[in-house]
Amino acid sequence: MRVRDIDWESWRAKDPATLVFVVKDSSVLLIRKKCGLGAGKINAPGGRLEPGETPLEAAIRETREEVNLRVGITGILDAYSFPGTEVVVIVYAAEVLGGTLEAGALREFLASIASMMASQFTRKGVMLELKVDDALDSIYADGRKLRQILLNLLSNAVKFTSRNGRVQVTAQRQGDKAFRIVVSDDGIGIEEAV
Protein backbone atom coordinates (compact mmCIF):
# COMPACT_ATOMS: atom_id res chain seq x y z
CA MET A 1 0.00 0.00 0.00
CA ARG A 2 1.23 3.47 -0.84
CA VAL A 3 0.83 6.55 1.38
CA ARG A 4 -1.54 8.24 -1.10
CA ASP A 5 -3.82 5.17 -0.96
CA ILE A 6 -4.41 5.39 2.83
CA ASP A 7 -7.82 6.62 4.03
CA TRP A 8 -6.50 9.23 6.49
CA GLU A 9 -9.96 10.00 7.88
CA SER A 10 -10.28 6.50 9.38
CA TRP A 11 -6.59 5.62 9.85
CA ARG A 12 -5.43 5.04 13.46
CA ALA A 13 -1.93 4.26 14.64
CA LYS A 14 -1.66 0.86 16.34
CA ASP A 15 0.85 2.11 18.94
CA PRO A 16 0.77 5.92 19.00
CA ALA A 17 3.23 8.01 21.01
CA THR A 18 4.16 11.66 21.34
CA LEU A 19 7.29 13.77 21.51
CA VAL A 20 7.13 17.39 22.70
CA PHE A 21 9.78 19.99 21.89
CA VAL A 22 9.25 22.72 24.47
CA VAL A 23 10.58 26.07 23.25
CA LYS A 24 11.37 28.91 25.63
CA ASP A 25 13.43 32.03 24.87
CA SER A 26 14.74 30.46 21.63
CA SER A 27 15.96 27.37 23.55
CA VAL A 28 14.61 23.84 23.21
CA LEU A 29 14.24 21.59 26.26
CA LEU A 30 16.03 18.24 25.97
CA ILE A 31 16.12 15.58 28.67
CA ARG A 32 17.80 12.23 29.25
CA LYS A 33 14.94 9.73 29.00
CA LYS A 34 14.80 7.50 32.08
CA CYS A 35 12.43 4.85 30.75
CA GLY A 36 10.14 3.97 27.88
CA LEU A 37 10.84 4.86 24.25
CA GLY A 38 14.38 6.18 23.93
CA ALA A 39 15.41 5.27 27.50
CA GLY A 40 18.95 6.50 28.25
CA LYS A 41 19.03 8.81 25.24
CA ILE A 42 18.85 12.59 25.02
CA ASN A 43 15.46 13.52 23.64
CA ALA A 44 12.36 15.60 24.33
CA PRO A 45 9.61 14.68 26.82
CA GLY A 46 6.97 12.30 25.50
CA GLY A 47 5.64 8.77 25.52
CA ARG A 48 2.84 6.41 24.60
CA LEU A 49 -0.84 7.27 24.83
CA GLU A 50 -2.93 5.91 27.68
CA PRO A 51 -6.26 4.21 26.81
CA GLY A 52 -8.87 6.75 25.69
CA GLU A 53 -6.32 9.57 25.47
CA THR A 54 -5.78 11.72 22.37
CA PRO A 55 -2.24 12.41 21.15
CA LEU A 56 -2.63 16.06 22.22
CA GLU A 57 -3.70 15.06 25.75
CA ALA A 58 -0.81 12.58 25.95
CA ALA A 59 1.70 15.23 24.86
CA ILE A 60 0.55 17.62 27.59
CA ARG A 61 0.39 14.86 30.27
CA GLU A 62 3.79 13.38 29.43
CA THR A 63 5.46 16.80 29.60
CA ARG A 64 3.87 17.49 32.99
CA GLU A 65 4.91 14.07 34.34
CA GLU A 66 8.45 14.10 33.00
CA VAL A 67 9.54 17.68 33.60
CA ASN A 68 6.84 19.29 35.76
CA LEU A 69 5.89 21.87 33.13
CA ARG A 70 2.41 22.85 32.02
CA VAL A 71 2.57 23.45 28.28
CA GLY A 72 0.41 24.73 25.47
CA ILE A 73 0.83 22.96 22.15
CA THR A 74 1.73 25.42 19.39
CA GLY A 75 1.87 23.05 16.45
CA ILE A 76 2.63 19.66 14.97
CA LEU A 77 6.18 19.39 13.68
CA ASP A 78 6.24 15.88 12.26
CA ALA A 79 5.05 12.28 12.51
CA TYR A 80 7.23 9.24 12.00
CA SER A 81 7.44 5.55 12.73
CA PHE A 82 10.20 3.17 13.78
CA PRO A 83 11.04 0.65 11.05
CA GLY A 84 9.85 -2.83 12.00
CA THR A 85 7.49 -1.62 14.76
CA GLU A 86 3.93 -0.37 14.99
CA VAL A 87 4.96 2.75 16.96
CA VAL A 88 3.96 6.02 15.34
CA VAL A 89 5.30 9.19 17.00
CA ILE A 90 3.53 12.54 16.65
CA VAL A 91 6.00 15.37 17.25
CA TYR A 92 4.68 18.60 18.77
CA ALA A 93 6.07 22.05 19.48
CA ALA A 94 4.96 23.65 22.75
CA GLU A 95 5.37 26.72 24.90
CA VAL A 96 5.63 26.87 28.69
CA LEU A 97 2.44 28.01 30.44
CA GLY A 98 3.46 27.18 34.00
CA GLY A 99 5.56 25.05 36.29
CA THR A 100 9.24 25.17 37.12
CA LEU A 101 12.13 23.22 35.68
CA GLU A 102 15.44 23.81 37.35
CA ALA A 103 18.42 21.98 38.69
CA GLY A 104 17.86 21.43 42.38
CA ALA A 105 20.52 21.54 45.06
CA LEU A 106 19.77 18.24 46.79
CA ARG A 107 21.38 19.10 50.14
CA GLU A 108 19.23 22.26 50.46
CA PHE A 109 16.15 20.40 49.24
CA LEU A 110 16.55 17.70 51.92
CA ALA A 111 17.31 20.33 54.57
CA SER A 112 14.04 22.12 53.72
CA ILE A 113 12.09 18.87 54.14
CA ALA A 114 13.87 18.20 57.45
CA SER A 115 12.87 21.69 58.56
CA MET A 116 9.24 20.97 57.68
CA MET A 117 9.35 17.81 59.82
CA ALA A 118 11.43 19.25 62.70
CA SER A 119 8.54 19.73 65.14
CA GLN A 120 7.40 16.09 64.78
CA PHE A 121 10.93 14.81 65.39
CA THR A 122 11.49 17.15 68.35
CA ARG A 123 8.14 16.30 69.94
CA LYS A 124 8.91 12.57 69.70
CA GLY A 125 12.58 12.96 70.75
CA VAL A 126 13.87 11.34 67.56
CA MET A 127 17.07 12.50 65.86
CA LEU A 128 17.01 13.13 62.10
CA GLU A 129 20.35 12.81 60.31
CA LEU A 130 21.01 13.83 56.68
CA LYS A 131 23.93 12.36 54.71
CA VAL A 132 24.34 13.65 51.15
CA ASP A 133 27.08 12.43 48.82
CA ASP A 134 29.32 15.37 47.85
CA ALA A 135 29.08 14.20 44.22
CA LEU A 136 25.35 15.02 44.30
CA ASP A 137 25.56 18.77 44.00
CA SER A 138 22.39 19.17 41.94
CA ILE A 139 19.70 16.99 40.42
CA TYR A 140 16.85 17.35 37.96
CA ALA A 141 13.64 15.94 39.42
CA ASP A 142 9.99 16.70 39.95
CA GLY A 143 10.41 18.48 43.28
CA ARG A 144 6.72 18.29 44.13
CA LYS A 145 6.57 14.50 43.79
CA LEU A 146 9.94 13.91 45.45
CA ARG A 147 8.95 16.15 48.38
CA GLN A 148 5.68 14.23 48.87
CA ILE A 149 7.44 10.85 48.77
CA LEU A 150 10.02 11.95 51.34
CA LEU A 151 7.43 13.56 53.62
CA ASN A 152 5.43 10.30 53.60
CA LEU A 153 8.51 8.17 54.34
CA LEU A 154 9.71 10.49 57.12
CA SER A 155 6.24 10.65 58.68
CA ASN A 156 6.17 6.84 58.88
CA ALA A 157 9.74 6.70 60.17
CA VAL A 158 9.13 9.13 63.06
CA LYS A 159 5.79 7.47 63.84
CA PHE A 160 7.33 4.02 64.31
CA THR A 161 10.64 5.04 65.91
CA SER A 162 10.89 5.04 69.71
CA ARG A 163 11.87 8.09 71.79
CA ASN A 164 15.63 8.75 71.53
CA GLY A 165 15.69 6.79 68.27
CA ARG A 166 17.30 7.84 65.01
CA VAL A 167 16.12 8.34 61.41
CA GLN A 168 18.67 8.74 58.65
CA VAL A 169 18.23 10.07 55.10
CA THR A 170 21.09 9.11 52.80
CA ALA A 171 21.46 10.38 49.23
CA GLN A 172 24.02 8.83 46.92
CA ARG A 173 24.89 9.05 43.24
CA GLN A 174 24.20 5.81 41.36
CA GLY A 175 26.40 5.88 38.26
CA ASP A 176 26.42 9.05 36.21
CA LYS A 177 22.70 9.19 35.41
CA ALA A 178 20.86 8.44 38.64
CA PHE A 179 20.75 8.97 42.37
CA ARG A 180 19.35 7.01 45.29
CA ILE A 181 17.72 8.30 48.47
CA VAL A 182 17.31 5.89 51.39
CA VAL A 183 15.26 6.62 54.51
CA SER A 184 16.20 4.26 57.36
CA ASP A 185 15.30 4.18 61.03
CA ASP A 186 15.81 2.06 64.12
CA GLY A 187 12.07 1.66 64.67
CA ILE A 188 10.03 -1.52 65.04
CA GLY A 189 10.24 -2.46 61.37
CA ILE A 190 7.94 -4.68 59.39
CA GLU A 191 7.66 -8.42 60.05
CA GLU A 192 8.96 -10.63 57.26
CA ALA A 193 6.32 -12.61 55.41
CA VAL A 194 6.16 -16.26 56.42
64-88: pLDDT as tens digits: 888 878 899 999 998 888 777 778 8
Domains and CATH numbers, the chain: 3-99 (3.90.79.10), 106-185 (3.30.565.10)
Q: From the centroid of its chain, how far is CA 37? A: 15
> 63 pLDDT exceeds 60?
yes
pLDDT reported for residue 30: 77
> 104 pLDDT exceeds 60?
no
Q: For residue range 109-135, what is the model confidence (pLDDT) as tens digits?
A: 788 888 888 888 999 999 999 988 877
Q: For residue range 152-176, what is the model confidence (pLDDT) as tens digits?
A: 999 999 999 999 999 999 988 887 7
DSSP string of 77-99? EEEEE-TTS-EEEEEEEEEEEEE
Which are the contacts of 162, defined by CB distance < 8 A and separation ≥ 6? 126, 186, 187, 188
105, 137 contact by CB (below 8 A): yes
